[in-house]
C-alpha cells in the first residue's frame, strides 16, 4: 500500500495550481494504470461489470504477442538464411529483437506523446486505444522501415485519423492501417518491392553486413510479377517467409485469434466472413479468372501469404472501425475478404490487397450499419400503418 500512499502524496502537484500541472494527464494515466479507479457510481446502475476498456485493450496486446515474438525470430531467420550463416535459435531471435525493438519504441513514443498532449489539452483522461495501435504498427511494416519515416507516419495517423475525430471510439479508419497506408503512398520504396523484406546489415555485432543490397521478394510480390506463383509450402503456414514483421506466421496469429474469440473481444462473425469472402472470390478466380499467376494461386494459399490472416484477425475485427450491427459484421467481413483478393488479382500494382480492402470497408461500415438499422426502422414504421 506504500505505492498507493505515495501516489496520494504526490497527487496535489498535478492538480490545478500544482507545479507539475502540465503533466496531469500523465499522472492520471499512470495512476489508473496501477490501480483500478475506485470512484463509485453516482446515479443509475449501482453496480458495474469489472470489464473495462483497459482490460480489453491489454487482451488484444497479449493476443498479438505470439505473432510479434515469432516475427522477431523470423526477421533474424531471414537475415541469417540470406547471409548463408547457419546459426542457432537465440542469435536469430536477438537479431530480430534488436531490429524490431526500435520500431516499437518509436511507435509508442511518438503515438503516446501525441495522445498525452491531446489528453492534457482537452482536459480528458488518456485513452488506452493507442496501446493496441502502437503495438500493431511495428508488426505491419518491414523490419527495415526507417525510424524517421515511421515516426512521421505514426504522427500523421494518430492526429489525422484519430484525434481530429475525437479520439479512440470516434475514429472511422483503423489507425494502424492508416500509418501503413501513409508509408505505402508517401514512401513506397520502403514498404514495397523486393529490397526491403530482409535486414541486410549487422545489428550490434549480430548478423552480417556482407549481404548489403540483398533482394528477396515476398510471395505476393513474386506472384504479381512472375509467370507462376510460388507453390504452396508449409513454411508459409509456419511463417518462415519474408514479409512484414508480424504477418507471416499463420500459427502464431491463430493463437492470438483463439484468445480473442474465446474472450469474445473480437467478433467471430467478422473473422469468419473475411475468410469466407476471400476464399470464395479466390476460388472463383481459380476457376474463371484471368490468366495470371495471382489468379491461379490456390484459394487456400491466398490465406497463408501476405497480411490476409493478420488483417482478418486483428484489423478487420477492430470494434470501432468495423460494422457495429451483428448482421452488418457478416457483410462487412465478407466484403473485406472479397475485396482483398480482388485487389490482389486485378491490380498488379498492389500485390497486397488486405490493407486497402480493410480501409475501404472501414469507409463503408457506417453505410452497412445504416442499411441494417434502417431495416429495423422500416419494420417499426410498417407496424404503425398496420
Residues forming contacts to other proteins in the complex (CB under 8 A) are 1, 4, 32-59, 125, 127, 129, 166-170, 262-265, 267, 319-320, 322-326, 369, 373, 376-377, 379-381, 383-384
Is the CB of 178 or the CB of 323 nearer to other proteins? 323
C-alpha cell at 103: 520500431
φ and ψ at residue 206, rounded to 5 degrees: -90, 145
Shortest distance, CB of residue 108 to other proteins, whole angstroms? Answer: 17
Is the CB of 30 or the CB of 148 nearer to other proteins? 30
In the three-class reduction of DSSP (H, G, I as helix; E, B as strand; rest coil), residue 249 is classed as: coil
In the three-class reduction of DSSP (H, G, I as helix; E, B as strand; rest coil), residue 44 is classed as: coil
Shortest distance, CB of residue 331 to other proteins, whole angstroms? Answer: 14
Shortest distance, CB of residue 43 to other proteins, whole angstroms? Answer: 6
Determine contact, residues 245/72, Cβ cutoff 8 Å.
Answer: yes
Nearest residue to 172 via CA among 370, 372, 376: 370
C-alpha cell at 362: 472501414
Report CA 144 to chain centroid distance, whole Å.
18
Is the CB of 201 or the CB of 324 nearer to other proteins? 324
Is the CB of 21 or the CB of 48 nearer to other proteins? 48
Shortest distance, CB of residue 42 to other proteins, whole angstroms? Answer: 8
Distance CA 375, CA 382 (A): 11
Is the CB of 19 or the CB of 382 nearer to other proteins? 382
Shortest distance, CB of residue 20 to other proteins, whole angstroms? Answer: 21
User: Given CA atoms 8, 14, 19, 23 in this order, what sign does their dihedral have?
Assistant: positive
Shortest distance, CB of residue 38 to other proteins, whole angstroms? Answer: 5
Indicate the Cα dihedral angle 173, 194, 353, 359, nearest 10°.
Answer: 10
Is the CB of 127 or the CB of 342 nearer to other proteins? 127
Angle at 113 between CA 108 and CA 115, to 5 degrees: 95
Amino acid at each position: 500500500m506504500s505505492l498507493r500512499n505515495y501516489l496520494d502524496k504526490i497527487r496535489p502537484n498535478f492538480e490545478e495550481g500544482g507545479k507539475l500541472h502540465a503533466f496531469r494527464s500523465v499522472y492520471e494515466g499512470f495512476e489508473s494504470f496501477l490501480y483500478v479507479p475506485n470512484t463509485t457510481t453516482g446515479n443509475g446502475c449501482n453496480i458495474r461489470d469489472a470489464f473495462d476498456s483497459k482490460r480489453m485493450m491489454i487482451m488484444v496486446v497479449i493476443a498479438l504477442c505470439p505473432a510479434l515474438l515469432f516475427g522477431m525470430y523470423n526477421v533474424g531467420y531471414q537475415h541469417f538464411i540470406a547471409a548463408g550463416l547457419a546459426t542457432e535459435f537465440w542469435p536469430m531471435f536477438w537479431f530480430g529483437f534488436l531490429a524490431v525493438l526500435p520500431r516499437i519504441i518509436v511507435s509508442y513514443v511518438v503515438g503516446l506523446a501525441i495522445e498525452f498532449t491531446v489528453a492534457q489539452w482537452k482536459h480528458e483522461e488518456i485513452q488506452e486505444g493507442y496501446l493496441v495501435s502502437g503495438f500493431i504498427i511495428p508488426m505491419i511494416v518491414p523490419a527495415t522501415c526507417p525510424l524517421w519515416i515511421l515516426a512521421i507516419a505514426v504522427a500523421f495517423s494518430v492526429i489525422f485519423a484519430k484525434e481530429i475525430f475525437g479520439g479512440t471510439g470516434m475514429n472511422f479508419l483503423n489507425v494502424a492501417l492508416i500509418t501503413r497506408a501513409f508509408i505505402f503512398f508517401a514512401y513506397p520504396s520502403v514498404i514495397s518491392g523486393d529490397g526491403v523484406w530482409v535486414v541486410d546489415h549487422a545489428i550490434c555485432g549480430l548478423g552480417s553486413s556482407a549481404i548489403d543490397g540483398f533482394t528477396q521478394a515476398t510471395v505476393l510480390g513474386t506472384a504479381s510479377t512472375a509467370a507462376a506463383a510460388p507453390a504452396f509450402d508449409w513454411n508459409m503456414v509456419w511463417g518462415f517467409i519474408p514479409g512484414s514483421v508480424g504477418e507471416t506466421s499463420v500459427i502464431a496469429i491463430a493463437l492470438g485469434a483463439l484468445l480473442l474469440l474465446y474472450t469474445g473481444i473480437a467478433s467471430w462473425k467478422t473473422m469468419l466472413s473475411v475468410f469466407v469472402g476471400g476464399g470464395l472470390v479466390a476460388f472463383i478466380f481459380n476457376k474463371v479468372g484471368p490468366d495470371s499467376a495471382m489468379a491461379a494461386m490456390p484459394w487456400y494459399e491466398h490465406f497463408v501469404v501476405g497480411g490476409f490472416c493478420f488483417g482478418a484477425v486483428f484489423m478487420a475485427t477492430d470494434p470501432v472501425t468495423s460494422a457495429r450491427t451483428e448482421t452488418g459484421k457478416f457483410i462487412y467481413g465478407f466484403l473485406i475478404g472479397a475485396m482483398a483478393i480482388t485487389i490482389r488479382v486485378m491490380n498488379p500494382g498492389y500485390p497486397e490487397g488486405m490493407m486497402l480492402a480493410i480501409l475501404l470497408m472501414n469507409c463503408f461500415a457506417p453505410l452497412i450499419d445504416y442499411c441494417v438499422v434502417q431495416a429495423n426502422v422500416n419494420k417499426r414504421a410498417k407496424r404503425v400503418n398496420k
